[in-house]
């Protein structure tokens, strides 16, 4: 079966067409700047790439262009859309309506719409894209795969906020967690690797560190805690997001600056984190460069991030009563030896023997790599994430069970 994986944002549309028998990516691409000046589609197949610039006013046009790329005589990879067996959609927030991936029929669509307000920047675009696929390719089944689903196994003591219970019941306000497909993929890969070596694998901390970052505690293959919350603003400080913060600070910033509550939230979401603290960039590479040139605020942002990740690792080791493995993934986790080195400081007492030399090699950049010394009780792994593959696998599984 060929599965089309679609990740729709408000102004972008990412896609991959995957042949499931061999789990081969036939092509992938992104439509960018939908509804804006300079819209274009970048389509990659094999080792080739085409860029089509066009006026792309809406997602319908974007999706039609995407389909054209798939079947195009010169750079397409299939003869007709009939070859698409299913479409898997990344949907950010499931609310309490779903705790796993789902086929999207009429009933499910209503439920999706009822929780759209929980992720106002993401879910409406995801839902609109599913509707579009249903109308343009009515014979192809659609499956929603949620960022939140992997975290649905968290016990209630980890899910709940210390707010009046009625507020939770009435508005579903609790911690949900995000990057679930990534945490699921890398913890699964870590379990496979550790099992093949005869090593324990029941207590894993997965660190997805990128523009957005989250850390999860995975016990016996199931998520028992995660750092993000009701929204992806929570947890560690990120590229532009503040991470965990005293809630009273929000009103304090608003009062002092004259910003509205909405503006303040936006400020904490888009202008804080690495960007806000360093004043240099939201990008980890720029941050490291500035810090190495002596920029103190860039160094501070680096230290804050590493320290916050460390604290999550430590607290999750206690939550799981031990630690077998730490996994690094995401743009920073997969590529930045500097951040991995900083984060792994002070972990010797947990039984970590971190191989600092191996950590700096090119082998440890963007590849699966074991960074622990042979005597290390806790394994430290770099595992490149593959969220699209998780979406495609779940889509295939659901469609085959229909």
- Rounded CA-CA distance 314/300 in Å is 21
> Each residue of 215-238: b (16+ CB within 10 Å) or e?
bbbbbeeebbbbbbbbbbbbbbbb
Q: Based on the shown chain and the rule CB under 6 A, indicate whether residue 291 belongs to the binding site for ligand AMP.
A: no
Q: Based on the shown chain and the rule CB under 6 A, indicate whether residue 88 belongs to the binding site for ligand AMP.
A: no
Site string for ligand AMP, 36-65 (x = CB under 6 A): ------------------------------
Q: Name the residue whose CB lies closest to ligand AMP.
A: 331
Q: Based on the shown chain and the rule CB under 6 A, indicate whether residue 361 belongs to the binding site for ligand AMP.
A: no
Distance in Å, CB of 238 to ligand AMP, minimum? 9
Q: Which stretch binds ligand AMP (CB under 6 A): 25-33, 120-128, 173-181, 282-290?
A: 282-290
Distance in Å, CB of 239 to ligand AMP, minimum? 6
The residue within the footprint of ligand AMP, chosen from 110, 192, 197, 285 (CB under 6 A), is 285
147 is catalytic: yes
Distance in Å, CB of 209 to ligand AMP, minimum? 7
- Rounded CA-CA distance 271/298 in Å is 15
Q: Based on the shown chain and the rule CB under 6 A, indicate whether residue 384 belongs to the binding site for ligand AMP.
A: no
Task: Enumerate residues 6+ apart whose C-beta is below 8 A from 166.
Answer: none
Distance in Å, CB of 200 to ligand AMP, minimum? 28
Site string for ligand AMP, 184-213 (x = CB under 6 A): --------------------------xx--
Which two three-digit tokens encode residue 395? 């889509």
Q: Of the residues 99, 147, 225, 303, which is catalytic? A: 147
The residue within the footprint of ligand AMP, chosen from 132, 330, 354, 393 (CB under 6 A), is 330
Q: Based on the shown chain and the rule CB under 6 A, indicate whether residue 292 belongs to the binding site for ligand AMP.
A: no
List, by residue number, the catalytic residues.
Answer: 147
| Binding site residues, ligand AMP, CB under 6 A | 210-211, 239, 283-285, 288, 330-332, 335-336
């Amino acid at each position: 079966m060929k599965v089309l994986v679609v990740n729709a944002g408000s102004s972008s549309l990412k896609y991959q067409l995957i042949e499931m028998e061999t789990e081969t990516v036939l092509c992938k691409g992104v439509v960018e700047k939908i509804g804006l000046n300079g819209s274009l589609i970048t389509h990659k197949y094999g080792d080739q790439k085409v860029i089509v610039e066009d006026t792309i006013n809406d997602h319908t046009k974007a999706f039609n262009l995407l389909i054209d790329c798939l079947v195009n005589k010169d750079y397409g990879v299939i003869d007709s859309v009939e070859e698409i067996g299913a479409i898997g959609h990344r949907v950010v927030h499931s609310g309490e309506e779903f705790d796993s991936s789902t086929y999207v029929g009429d009933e499910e669509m209503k439920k999706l719409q009822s929780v759209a307000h929980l992720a106002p920047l993401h879910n409406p675009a995801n839902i609109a894209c599913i509707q579009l696929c249903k109308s343009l390719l009515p014979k192809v089944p659609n499956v929603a795969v949620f960022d939140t689903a992997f975290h649905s196994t968290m016990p209630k003591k980890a899910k709940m906020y210390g707010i009046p219970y009625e507020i939770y019941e009435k508005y579903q306000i609790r911690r949900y967690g995000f990057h679930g497909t990534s945490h699921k993929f890398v913890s699964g890969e870590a379990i496979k690797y550790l099992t093949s070596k005869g090593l324990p694998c029941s207590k894993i901390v997965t660190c997805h560190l990128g523009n957005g970052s989250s850390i999860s505690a995975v016990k016996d293959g199931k998520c028992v805690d995660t750092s993000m919350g009701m929204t992806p603003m929570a947890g560690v400080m990120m590229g532009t997001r503040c991470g965990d913060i005293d809630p009273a600070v929000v009103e304090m910033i608003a009062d002092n600056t004259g910003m509205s509550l909405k503006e303040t939230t936006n400020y904490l979401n888009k202008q804080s984190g690495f960007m806000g603290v360093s004043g240099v960039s939201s990008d980890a590479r720029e941050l490291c460069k500035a810090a190495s040139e002596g920029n103190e605020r860039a160094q501070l942002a680096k230290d804050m991030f590493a320290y916050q990740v460390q604290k999550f690792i430590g607290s999750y080791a206690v939550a799981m009563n031990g630690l077998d493995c730490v996994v690094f993934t995401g743009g920073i986790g997969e590529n930045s030896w500097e951040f991995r080195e900083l984060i792994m400081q002070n972990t010797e007492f947990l039984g970590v023997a971190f191989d600092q030399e191996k950590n700096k090699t090119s082998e440890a950049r963007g590849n699966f790599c074991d960074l622990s010394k042979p005597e290390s009780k806790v394994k430290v792994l770099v595992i490149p994430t593959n969220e699209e593959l998780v979406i495609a696998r779940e889509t295939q599984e659901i469609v085959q069970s229909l």
